[in-house]
Amino acid sequence: MAILQVAQTFLGANTQKNPKTNLPEGVGVDARNMDTTHSDLRGLPAADVAYTFTSGIAQQISLYRIGRNTASDSQYWITRSVDADFVRSLIAEDTTERTYTTDGTKPKYTDNTLLGGSEPYPASWVDTGVPYPDTDMTATETTPGTGTEEIRVYLDTFLRANGDESAPNPTTTTITVNPNSVVTLNSFDPVPSGSHGITKRRIYCSTDGGEFQRIAEITSGTASHVDDLTRGSVLQTGGSTSKPAWLPPPDNLIGLISLWNNMIGGFVDKSYRICEAGYPHAWPIEYEGVLADTIIGSAKFGTTWVLCTSGVPYIVTGSTPGGMRDQPVYFDRGGCVSKRSVAGVGHGVCWASNRGLCYFGQNGPRVLTEDFIDETTWQALAPSSIIGTRWRQYYIGFYYNGTDRKGFMIDTANPAGVIWLDQGAYGVFYDTLTDSLHLLQAHSAGPSTQPIRKWASGSALNVTFKTEKTRTRVETNPSVAMVVATTYPVTYKLYADGSLMHTKTVTSREPFRLPGGYVARDFQQEVSGGTGPIEAIVLAEEMVDLP
């Protein structure tokens, strides 16, 4: 007579190890929709509808909330039908909440003056970069001066109303005149077409090889200007070897990320790029780094930027844009296969590879799933489809395998097993202001609307847990079981030697009889359907064996 199996710790599932080989305590072969934060078995709260966005016909897959000074589930959602990244401005004096985005076509920004009054937000975007003038102006001496001749070199820049200034015109205009000579400047390069917000032009002059100093700030449509020898501030956006030119970011820049020390990063193919600190519109080519493999995605922890490539990952560290340095992490199983899977989890960064969920951080490089998800199961998730995010101590991945759009959850600090999720998503947004996670769901036909769901905000989901296989020394026939729970009903199943032997709807903690007429050596129990909490599942040979 004996208790054959007791399950009272519930951590997750393991598909890697043989279920007969004594899995770690609390780990079964199936764990679904579990909330493990209470040391019992209960259903994770569902992601409930927090807002419904009228998004047009196309399915939206990227999500961001502008209006970061106010905690809200409704104001103001920006969605995109393509993979896009969003970063808030790191400009101290910015009162408009300038928000930048990249999607592989052209980096752009919006702010609360461009939002508009109705969905879809925003009403308009502005190109992130400020193009520079690239043809020379004309300089004519109109009032001669006296004294020893001097050489003046003129150039101009374009300026936005918000103060963003372009790189200097690479085509300068030189004139040799006497000191005090008045020079008239005209034939300026016209403002190029596009959504760049240019409203003004600044003109600078260098005399006898000195610094370029501002001589004028004029409206962009002004046809000429007279240099009356007034001199102002020194040009900062280029013009010398010590000042890298503030070029626009590459049109195909993606992966925009907020770093530290007022820096923003991104990448193109094998190169990573960093903006001028505090100036998100300016991306000097001198701040580019080139890696051996294509960069797929990136995230950060602390002051370490992790670049997940098609080969090994790299880390980038430093305190200034020109002082950033990269080095490889020797991790032969770490090739990233999904840009959207890359997510910072506080103490490190996680991403999907073909071998499993990879991690690099304070605990070093590792494949978090290698002990509990076999490669066949992992491949069935379609790793290249995974969208990753953080929630509490977990990494949550949503996948689409061609049939199902579901998810999984893994404790990144103590990865004992996987929790499978019946909820899926097209896109995610983790709101640091409210410590909440939001999911983009499928849009509906008719009036094309798209719900935004707030993670773990609804009623508890139906939970499932199936234990490991417990092998007895001799064949036996268990006669009794018990489910200790706070709420009922719970569906109970008993498996013997791999076959389902009994199913029962349990309505109380009273022990119940099991069918006879067979003997077996391998036993598994499963509970499902209830929302929990469930404290224990007990299988015994006789009623007297129960605690």
State pLDDT tens for residues 364-416. 999 999 999 999 999 999 999 999 999 999 999 999 999 989 999 999 999 99
- Going by pLDDT thresholds of 50, 70 and 90, the confidence category of residue 55 is low
DSSP 243: B
pLDDT at 56 over 80: no
CB–CB of 193/209 below 8 Å?
no
Distance of CA 258 to the CA centre of its chain: 11
CB–CB of 451/36 below 8 Å?
no
Report how far residue 156's alpha carbon sits from residue 133's, in angstroms, rounded to the nearest whole number. 7
Burial 320-334 (b: 16+ CB within 10 A, else e): ebeebeeeeeebeeb
Lowest mean pLDDT among 18-27, 121-130, 203-212, 315-324: 18-27
* Cα dist from 181 to 155, 173, 175, 228, 230, whole Å: 18, 16, 11, 8, 12
Residue 445: exposure state from Cβ atoms within 10 A (0-12, 13-18, ≥19): exposed
- Going by pLDDT thresholds of 50, 70 and 90, the confidence category of residue 57 is low
CB–CB of 512/484 below 8 Å?
no
* Residue in this structure with the two tokens 């390069």, named with its chain if needed: 189
State pLDDT tens for residues 490-500. 999 999 999 99
pLDDT at 445 over 70: no
What amino acid occupies position 292? A
* Cα dist from 304 to 313, 318, 420, 451, whole Å: 12, 8, 30, 35
Is pTM beyond 0.75 here? yes
pLDDT at 451 over 70: yes
* Sign of the alpha-carbon dihedral angle for 312, 315, 321, 323: negative
Give pLDDT, residue 120: 84
Give pLDDT, residue 547: 78
CB–CB of 325/305 below 8 Å?
no
Give pLDDT, residue 446: 52
pLDDT at 483 over 90: yes
| Largest Cα span, the chain | 119
